[in-house]
Structure 1
Amino acid sequence: MARTVWDSSVGKKTVMAVSGIVMLLYLVAHMIGNLKIFFGPEEIDHYARWLRTMGGPVLHHEWGLWIVRVVLVVAVVAHATSAYQLSRRDIRARPTRYAHKKPGAGYATRTMRWGGVILGLFIVWHILDLTTGTVHPGGYQHLHPYQNIIDTFSTWYGNVIYIVAMLALGLHIQHGFWSAAQTLGVGSRTRDRVLKTAGNALAALLTLGFVAVPVGVMTGLVS
């Protein structure tokens, strides 16, 4: 039964929608955590330590954090896999490109695939930079995100990579939010405008919230 659902286009779109919502909820929480940097090093460094005791004393040290990580990895892999397979299926269904772009297809819609690739590459860089410290430009300090963030955004390439990725994220959410609502049966002709407005507002909020951090470092507001 599960295999039959997964093999169908509707099943893959549902997986994309559900996994997208999981990632969206994580992004909202992640953005709120990032903004703690504007309240000083003690605030965000304490937050980093709290993440490792989250769920205690019921959960062992770092178990809560690892549960979040595993769920997020599953969501990312499921989202990317279903998106890729739907894309290949769409290409096979129409091997020649349209002579004209589809009416009403917005910029975000036409760049969803490339946006997904950009975000995938960004996730790898972001983990290697601020989670493992492998490519971190300064002396990486475990459980001291304040200084690590300043190190990253004190480099021109750190700012460029992050801001470009956040703009791609905004476009992805702008279209993906409405698309997920349609797939899950939430959307309708009467709700279309509300859903698109909500998607635009959420995309703008997350983009501005994430971009505020590198801008804060560049302008000296965070130092």
Structure 2
Amino acid sequence: MIVAVWDSTIGKKVVMAVTGFILLGFLVLHLYGNLKIFFGLHDFNHYAHWLRTFGEPVLHYGWFLWLLRVVLIVSVVGHGVSAYQLSRRDIKARPNKYVHKKPRASYATRTMRWGGIILGLYVIWHIMDLTTGTVHSGGFEEGHPYENLVETFSVWWNNVIYITAMLALGLHVRHGLWSAVQTLGIGSRTRDGALKAFANTFALLLTAGFITLPVSVMTGVVS
């Protein structure tokens, strides 16, 4: 039964939609945590420590973060694999070019696949920069996330990488959120206008929120 659902096109679209909402939920929480940087070193580092102690004594130190990582990895893999397989099916279903040109799709639609690749590569970079410290452009200090984040955003090329990824994220979320509500049957003629406006606004606020971090460090608001 599960295999049959997964093999179907609608099944893969549902997997993409559900995993997409899981990832969106994480992004909102991640942004909320990141914005604590404006409250200073103590609040930001305390929040990072709280994430590692959340659930104690039922959960051991750091277990909550690992459970969260497992959910995110499963969601990313499910999202990426279903997207790739749907893309291959679409190509096989239309092997020849259209005789008549189709109306131009939106920029977000045409760059959806490349946006996903950019985000996937950035996530790897982000982990190696601020979680493991492997590519950190300075003296990475375990347990000092505020200092590590400020040091990262004090280097201009790190900001270029980050802002580029966040712009790709905004386009991806804008189109992905709209596609997800259609797949799950939430959309309708009477609600489509409001849902499109919500998707646009949500993507804009999410992107702007993340971009405030490097901009604040570059301008000296956060130091």
With normalisation by structure 2, the TM-score equals: 0.97
> Paired residue for 1:35?
35
The 5 Å alignment of 1:75-94 reads 75-94=75-94
> Paired residue for 2:170?
170
Summarize deviations over 1:155-179 as a string: whole Å, max 9, x none: 1210011000000000001011110
Mapped partners of 1:115, 1:56: distance in 2? 38
Q: Cα distance, 1:189 vs. partner?
A: 1.3
Question: Secondary structure of the equivalent of 1:181?
Answer: helix
Summarize deviations over 1:48-84 as a string: whole Å, max 9, x none: 1001011222211111111111000100000000000
> Paired residue for 1:9?
9
Q: Cα distance, 1:97 vs. partner?
A: 3.6
Gaps of 5+ in 2: none
Summarize deviations over 1:174-194 as a string: whole Å, max 9, x none: 011110001011111111111
Q: Cα distance, 1:103 vs. partner?
A: 2.8
Mapped partners of 2:175, 2:80: distance in 1? 16
* Aligned: 1:122 with 2:111: no
Mapped partners of 1:102, 1:36: distance in 2? 46
Mapped partners of 2:13, 2:195: distance in 1? 18
Summarize deviations over 1:83-142 as a string: whole Å, max 9, x none: 000001111111234466643621111110010010000000000000110000011111
The 5 Å alignment of 1:133-212 reads 133-212=133-212
Q: Which amino acid aligns with 1:9?
A: T
Q: Which amino acid aligns with 1:194?
A: A
> Which piece of structure 1 moves more, 103-112 or 116-125?
103-112
With normalisation by structure 1, the TM-score equals: 0.97
Question: Secondary structure of the equivalent of 2:18?
Answer: helix
Mapped partners of 2:143, 2:2: distance in 1? 41
CA RMSD of aligned residues (A): 1.2
The 5 Å alignment of 1:17-32 reads 17-32=17-32
Gaps of 5+ in 1: none
Mapped partners of 1:96, 1:157: distance in 2? 41
Measured at CA, do residues 93 and 218 of structure 1 come closer, stay the same or move farther in structure 2, by a change above 3 Å? same
